[in-house]
Structure 1
Amino acid sequence: MPIALARSCATVDIVIARGTQEPGYLGAAVGDPLYGVLRAHLPVDTTAHRVEYPADLLVPSSVSDGTRAMVGHLSAQAAACPDQRFVLVGYSQGAVVTHGVLGSAAATALPGIWVLDPGLSPRIVAVLLFGDPLRLVGGAVAPLYADRTVNYCTAGDPVCAGGVFPTAHGAYGWAFTAAARHVDARL
């Protein structure tokens, strides 16, 4: 198992898998602005972690690399910070990574997927998915996490809704406050 170094034992660690070739530290379309909203709305201290993976459709192992990195971080943080809880965020390809980590059937069919130890499930406060490609094929999150997952898809988004408006795939600002409320209600 890969080892990730624990940075902080904040009450909640927000773990973000960005979209394909998305710029920004946590991701310019979703991760960076979403984390700003979460920090402003949540009544607890938080940290954010960028899942280090290629986020590139031309790298065949990109999704499996992402699952390995996310599982490694969550496992290390859980061991180092026994009271810390987690919010998992995935945008576009990052949503597929998150599905894989949670053991969703549509994602675990891919080669090399790392799945989170179900024993850590109680520490996952919420799962936030944006522009999730698996929505198009009916891919649902694993049942263990269904009650705490919200899957946002902008109307017209070709990636999650089969729409014809490519710019819709990057238009998720409308969902950030609702996502923060969802997380807050689960704390």
Structure 2
Amino acid sequence: MSDRRSVRRALIMAGVGGVAAAGLLGPGAATAQAAESCPDVEVVFARGTAEPAGLGRVGQAFVDDLQNALSGRTVSAYAVNYPASYDFLQSAPLGADDASGRIQAIAATCPSTSIVVGGYSQGAAAVDLITADPNAAFGFGRPMPPAVADHVSAVAVFGNPSAKIGRPLTTISPLYGAKTIDLCNGADPVCSNGDDRPAHSQYVQAGFTQQAATFVAGRVNAPAPAEVMVNASATVG
């Protein structure tokens, strides 16, 4: 219970700190492209508290930076459709369900597409719920099926409230931790014990979306384990 209260308090601080800037498909209802029109990469991103519907300022900057880093590849983006409201106990699980539905639909319909999952602030909490939810935070308890992890190339979260309680996604997710970049801007009180509230609104200016894009591009461009094994066996002898 104390962890849940800490996460909720961090999210509240995100809203009070002026997180501003900058549709409802039910779980599993997202419509993926036909196989012939599947993108090389799809980014599924959940915006932060009180941001207008869409990718949000951090999400849009991240997608733009990733498109530049992956020039020559088609990169599409899906904005997680959820309220991103101050009613965190209701809002974050709705975001988690919508993101999970979209990711699973893409994995099933476009198996060769590299999926990138991202979130900012409350959106990062929604990502936590579907990639690592050992304590069923907010009563959620519906992480994505393990097989989906094979389709997710990378995860990028910004201002993640779980980091504030010493449980960053990089360490609490057996399936996604190694492919995750979990970024906290200095003394951002949402993801650290600091008290620099403006820092929570400065992830773009501080260069964190570019840092995340570089990490994710490296993951997307890395050869799959099967390719490594094939190439290794081809050089034997």
TM-score computed with the length of structure 1 as normaliser: 0.92
Q: Per-residue CA shift, 1:34-78, capped at 9, x if unaligned? A: 111111111421100000111112253111111110111111111
Counterpart position of 1:33: 61
Q: Which structure: larger Rg?
A: 2
1:136-164 CA-partner distances (Å, limit 9, x unpaired): 11123212111111111111211111222
Alignment partner of 2:208 out of 172, 175, 181: 175
Conserved 8 A contact 1:15-1:86? yes
Structure 1 portions without partners, runs of 5+: none
- 1:89-129 CA distance string (max 9 Å, x none): 111011110011102325x3321343111101111111101
Cross-structure match for 1:65: 94
In the alignment of these two chains, the number of paired residues is 185
Q: Where do 1:5-24 residues align within 5 Å?
A: 5-7=31-33, 9-23=38-52
Consecutive aligned runs of 4 or more in structure 1 exceeding 6 Å deviation: none
Of Structure 1 and Structure 2, the greater helix share is in: 2
Q: Amino acid of the residue matched to residue 175 of structure 1?
A: F
Alignment of 1:44-83 (within 5 A): 44-58=73-87, 60-83=89-112
Identity %: 34
Between the aligned partners of 2:42 and 2:124, the Cα distance in structure 1 is 17
Provide TM-score, normalisation by structure 2: 0.73
CA distance in 2, matches of 1:74, 1:180: 19
CA distance in 1, matches of 2:75, 2:133: 26
1:148 corresponds to which residue? 179
CA RMSD of aligned residues (A): 1.6
